[in-house]
Structure 1
Amino acid sequence: MTGNTTTQAPADTASSPRTRWWGLVAISLGVALIIVDSTIVNVAIPSVIQDLGISSSDAQWVQETYTLVFAALLLVAGRTGDRLGRRRLFLMGTAVFTLASVVAATAASGALLIAGRLLQGVGGAMILPTSLSLINANFRGPDRARAFAVWGSTIGGTAALGPLLGGWLTSHLSWRWAFGINLPLGILVAAGVFLLVAESKDPHAEHGVDLLGAVLSVIGFTGIVFALIEGRTYGWWQIERPFSVFGARSAEGLSPVPVALALGVLALGAFGAVELRRNHQGRTALLDLRLFTIPSFRNGNIVAGVVSLGEFGILFSLPLWFQNVLGYTAFDAGLALLPLAVGSFAASGLSAVLAPRIGTINLVLAGITCEIIGVAGIGLILSPHGSGWQVAPFLLIYGVGVGWATAQITGIVLTDIPVTRSGQGSGIQSTTRQVGSALGIALLGTVLFTTLGTDLRSTLLNHGTPADRASALTTSVQSSAGTSIQPLLHDPATRQAGKLARESFTTATSVAAYTAAGALTLGLVAAVRLKRRLAPTNESIATSRTP
């Protein structure tokens, strides 16, 4: 039987349909909080450095600690939700995230701010997979597709809204409000989920804890995500800048990146061996390997991971281009990204009409195609003398694609997962997307800055700049992620170099956009293969499960 049958221990269905939809609003607002928090801090960092007097290295940890902890705990959180109750874990995560936001908002030092960000990551990891499993448990049929569409559009839209909100709060109030705003919103989310969302969990959850599996998975995903995010910063082999945490500094020589990557790969290899043995022995396992016998889940995760690789990478490079090439403020850069959010939210309403007519997988294909058109169009239209208005139509198309592809592929991944295993399935799907996103940011960041350095140095030399001066200027623009371009433009002595840097940064951003389009094209191919492999009916693991 399929995972959508009524024999699967569904969630408490006492709530009315209207109550469930209002509950979805509360769930979506909770998801919005954790997604915004992954981008809102970027534009506030300069103010944080000035106010707290922290080093650039500590500022880096303020940005990345959240992402690292968040990605590392998704799998553990999803499985825990199946056992303890998904609504309970969602509420616990909301409480942790809200209290951690208060710690961050009132932090008097960099150490306290990093600690707050770490706890935010813990709370966020508890919220995301349980939000998916709650939707999977509380909605059926066409309503489930609509609910996933709202969830997906929330992720796509709020990811673009983060820089806008962060820029406005930082400019008009304080960077502390980028965290402080989570207090009233967190209380609202907790009240809404508690009152409006039915509880669900696995009534046959095994006794015992897979502590070794949990530890190995956390170490593995932390190491891999750290390496993917920080490779460009610290060097992929030789260390390129000092690596320090709370004043402890690394020695010269080998970068921490290959060490973290090797540790992560080894830990995940050991994790796989442990889970295989525990599954074979019938013992409690963090990862139920039988889930991967379901074609829609197995192949859907492949598509989700590949698409994530190219999906949000543009949100890394485009804000830098707006601010450093066009001279936009952080708030203006966020405003220029607004069409992406509009397109994503608009796609939510359209998908509710289109999915029943053309099929979920066809909507995924249409969404990925829109993403490719949008990203490739951005690469084509970029000009150092352009404006946000020129990019807006392609951002709108891209946003529509995100709204369709993100939500509907999630629905496909979970469609045949038994409700009793939806937390674990959601955790795997969320982890796949997070690792894919980290890989995408690492790939596009490397492409962006490698192209920038190569093109700028060559251009400077062609314009008669001495080799040592060209190297110095190139290093300055690269290491500052382009923030030195505007000062170069405003100084008459370096204006020509600033113009050349602006052109090279535009070229590099276009190449990064084309690379993202290429990754999305691979995702489109994977989605086409998924469409061919999906059988009319998939046998659920529920029939083979031993209580």
Structure 2
Amino acid sequence: MTLSSTETSAGLSPKRWLALIPMLLGVLIGSLSLSSIITALPALLSELRLDASVGVWIIDIYPLTLGVTLVLAARAGDHWGRKRIMLLGLGGFAVFNLLAGLSSAGAVLIALRMLLGVSEAMVISSVVATIGSQFHARERVLAYGFWTAAFGAGSAFGPVLGGLLTEGPGWRWVFLGCVPLAALAVLTALWIVPESRAPVTPHWDPPSIVSSVLAIGGLVYALQHALSEPVLAAVLAVVGLASGVLFVRRQKTLSNPLIDVEIFRIREFSIAYTHILVATGTTAATLYLVGLQVQAYQGLSPAASGLVLLPLAAMTGIIGATVPLALKRWSRKRITTLALTVAMLGQLWLASGIPGIPIALGLIGAGFGAVGTLAAAALFDYTTPAQAGQVGAVQEVSFALGNGIGVAVFGTIALATGPGGYSLAMLLAGIVLAAAALTYPLQSFNRALALKRALPFRRALRRRGR
């Protein structure tokens, strides 16, 4: 039976919460697939005698195809049912990870990682849209807290797990270990996840599809390769931006657009979206740069580097899961402002060079966990249930672009400015977070100022009325 978004959000059945189990398991598998390959890659390349360029593609093709296919996967879920698309994605995790674990050819591994990226897009877009349509108000924030915790757990233990598996049974188990998890997710999803889709059958517009793929693909690739291939990255960035402009213009002319771009005119929506970009970008850059720093200057192994980064990802999961409890005492805007400030303090700590990297990373992870949960839920608060699929896709694209922008911008700064580049990049990341933290206080100040200016006019109107 297919449930409409209204019916699912209004229902009180605890089955809605049980349905999170296979959905979050899918998020966990995707996060592990994204992060565990990093520490397993050197052994993989050595055993299969592959060039470093092949290794770059084995890593990068996954987030690239994930970003490119998110909007299409969300549209497919709206059309054919989100549970159905999620099951296809989970099945893809099982099949493609099995084949990858048995493969010995670089080109085949790249192709399978690409298909795993598509599978992840199916799972993520369906999970996010299902949460947005089935849960409401503070329930949705709690559900997204669990989502952040699952993603944080995968990010936290992925590099460590990849290193341990590589040093133990071998790198192939980075892929093979995901197979039973994916099979378990499929079986439980068949049983307890309800079906849902958009109340209005979505329209497929080929020009919109092509321009969205070129826009997201061009920008994501350009951001991923800005350091290694600056000329090609610049060309693709221009192609991506031009395609993005055409996409936006096209959506404004359609009665049933692929993405309703008018939602960005909602001020609170745009602010929440910006907070996701900022928090994701600074956090991704920190993981990248600190990982390089401890390996280059402290001589740590990849597995040991993963342990150093553990506090950031662990605090992301812990705070992401518990921050909804704070909404009982404080407003979302106040907590978001505090979270961005805490993350800023962590970045400034790293910039200063003061000992205590784990503490600084814990602060950054705590800030990201809170912002990721609250901002992601806020996107749905200012839109309609019928837009759940679109908003879910927009949300995940923001995480993908934020990741790419953060690594490209702050990574370039760190590498281009010499020995002090690392500290400068961390300092600038802190400044960006400080600017984001001022968003809501400045909004309140402007409202108070506008009210103060309006008081004399209101008093004059009252006198005239008398």
> TM-score by structure 2 length?
0.89
User: How much has 1:115 moved relative to structure 2?
Assistant: 0.3
| Residue 86 of structure 2 corresponds to residue 128 of structure 1 | no
Q: Distance in 1 between matches of 2:403 and 2:324?
A: 26
- Classify 1:273/1:267 alpha carbon distance in 2 versus 1 (closer, same or farther; 3 Å): same
Residue 523 of structure 1 is matched in structure 2 by 436
- Residues matched between the structures, number: 445
Residue 3 of structure 1 is matched in structure 2 by none
- Classify 1:322/1:522 alpha carbon distance in 2 versus 1 (closer, same or farther; 3 Å): same
| Residue 269 of structure 2 corresponds to residue 263 of structure 1 | no
Residue 226 of structure 2 is matched in structure 1 by 231
Q: Distance in 2 between matches of 1:84 and 1:15?
A: 25
Spell out, residue by residue over 1:408-447, the C-alpha distance to the aligned partner (whole angstroms, 9 max, x if none): 1111111132222101111012112211210101012112
Contact 1:309 1:519 in 2 (8 A): no
Q: Distance in 2 between matches of 1:190 and 1:532?
A: 50
User: How much has 1:512 moved relative to structure 2?
Assistant: 2.5
Q: Distance in 1 between matches of 2:365 and 2:147?
A: 14
User: How much has 1:109 moved relative to structure 2?
Assistant: 0.6
Spell out, residue by residue over 1:2-61, the C-alpha distance to the aligned partner (whole angstroms, 9 max, x if none): xxxxx96343866732x3223223222211221222222111221121111111211111
| Residue 259 of structure 2 corresponds to residue 346 of structure 1 | no
User: How much has 1:530 moved relative to structure 2?
Assistant: 6.5
1:431 aligns with one of 379, 391, 397: 397
Q: Gaps (5+ residues) in structure 2? A: 448-466
- Classify 1:52/1:349 alpha carbon distance in 2 versus 1 (closer, same or farther; 3 Å): closer
- Classify 1:131/1:529 alpha carbon distance in 2 versus 1 (closer, same or farther; 3 Å): farther
- Classify 1:326/1:531 alpha carbon distance in 2 versus 1 (closer, same or farther; 3 Å): farther
User: How much has 1:528 moved relative to structure 2?
Assistant: 4.3
Secondary structure of 2:432's aligned partner: helix
Residue 165 of structure 1 is matched in structure 2 by 161
The 5-angstrom pairing of residues 254-293 of structure 1 reads 255-278=231-254, 282=255, 284-293=256-265
The 5-angstrom pairing of residues 341-420 of structure 1 reads 341-381=313-353, 390-420=356-386
Aligned AA (1:510): S
Residue 219 of structure 1 is matched in structure 2 by 214
Q: Distance in 2 between matches of 1:95 and 1:423?
A: 21
Spell out, residue by residue over 1:325-374, the C-alpha distance to the aligned partner (whole angstroms, 9 max, x if none): 21222211111222223322321453132112102222211211111112
User: How much has 1:375 moved relative to structure 2?
Assistant: 2.1
Aligned AA (1:378): L
| Residue 92 of structure 2 corresponds to residue 84 of structure 1 | no
Spell out, residue by residue over 1:447-478, the C-alpha distance to the aligned partner (whole angstroms, 9 max, x if none): 22113xx33xxxxxxxxxxxxxxxxxxxxxxx
1:107 aligns with one of 103, 124, 135: 103
The 5-angstrom pairing of residues 178-197 of structure 1 reads 178-197=174-193
- Classify 1:447/1:412 alpha carbon distance in 2 versus 1 (closer, same or farther; 3 Å): same
Residue 145 of structure 2 is matched in structure 1 by 149
Contact 1:12 1:198 in 2 (8 A): no
Q: Distance in 1 between matches of 2:128 and 2:180?
A: 23
User: How much has 1:158 moved relative to structure 2?
Assistant: 2.5
Q: Distance in 1 between matches of 2:287 and 2:227?
A: 17
The 5-angstrom pairing of residues 323-338 of structure 1 reads 323-338=295-310
Q: Distance in 2 between matches of 1:127 and 1:8?
A: 18
Aligned AA (1:40): S
Q: Distance in 2 between matches of 1:69 and 1:532?
A: 42
Spell out, residue by residue over 1:459-501, the C-alpha distance to the aligned partner (whole angstroms, 9 max, x if none): xxxxxxxxxxxxxxxxxxxxxxxxxxxxxxxxxxxxxxxxxxx
- After the TM superposition, which of the residue ranges 342-351 and 8-17 deviates more from structure 2? 8-17
1:9 aligns with one of 6, 20, 23: 6
Aligned identity (percent) is 25
Q: Gaps (5+ residues) in structure 1? A: 1-6, 237-254, 456-506, 535-547
- Classify 1:533/1:142 alpha carbon distance in 2 versus 1 (closer, same or farther; 3 Å): farther
The 5-angstrom pairing of residues 27-46 of structure 1 reads 27-46=23-42
User: How much has 1:381 moved relative to structure 2?
Assistant: 3.4
Q: Distance in 2 between matches of 1:363 and 1:25?
A: 27
> TM-score by structure 1 length?
0.77
Aligned AA (1:58): V
1:202 aligns with one of 198, 202, 205: 198
Secondary structure of 1:356's aligned partner: coil
User: How much has 1:155 moved relative to structure 2?
Assistant: 2.5
Contact 1:311 1:520 in 2 (8 A): no
Q: Distance in 2 between matches of 1:202 and 1:138?
A: 12
User: How much has 1:102 moved relative to structure 2?
Assistant: 1.8
Spell out, residue by residue over 1:281-337, the C-alpha distance to the aligned partner (whole angstroms, 9 max, x if none): x2x421123433433323321222233221221111111222222122221111122
Aligned AA (1:120): L
Aligned AA (2:379): V
Spell out, residue by residue over 1:107-128, the C-alpha distance to the aligned partner (whole angstroms, 9 max, x if none): 2210000001100111111121
- Classify 1:510/1:130 alpha carbon distance in 2 versus 1 (closer, same or farther; 3 Å): same
Aligned AA (1:233): S
User: How much has 1:156 moved relative to structure 2?
Assistant: 3.2
Contact 1:82 1:421 in 2 (8 A): no
Contact 1:85 1:201 in 2 (8 A): yes
Secondary structure of 1:302's aligned partner: helix
Aligned AA (2:84): R
Q: Distance in 2 between matches of 1:396 and 1:290?
A: 37
| Residue 421 of structure 2 corresponds to residue 514 of structure 1 | no
Contact 1:371 1:401 in 2 (8 A): yes
Q: Distance in 1 between matches of 2:381 and 2:426?
A: 32
Contact 1:160 1:315 in 2 (8 A): no
Q: Distance in 2 between matches of 1:192 and 1:376?
A: 44
- Classify 1:392/1:289 alpha carbon distance in 2 versus 1 (closer, same or farther; 3 Å): closer
Aligned AA (1:372): M
Q: Distance in 2 between matches of 1:532 and 1:351?
A: 26
Residue 51 of structure 2 is matched in structure 1 by 55
Q: Distance in 2 between matches of 1:231 and 1:330?
A: 24
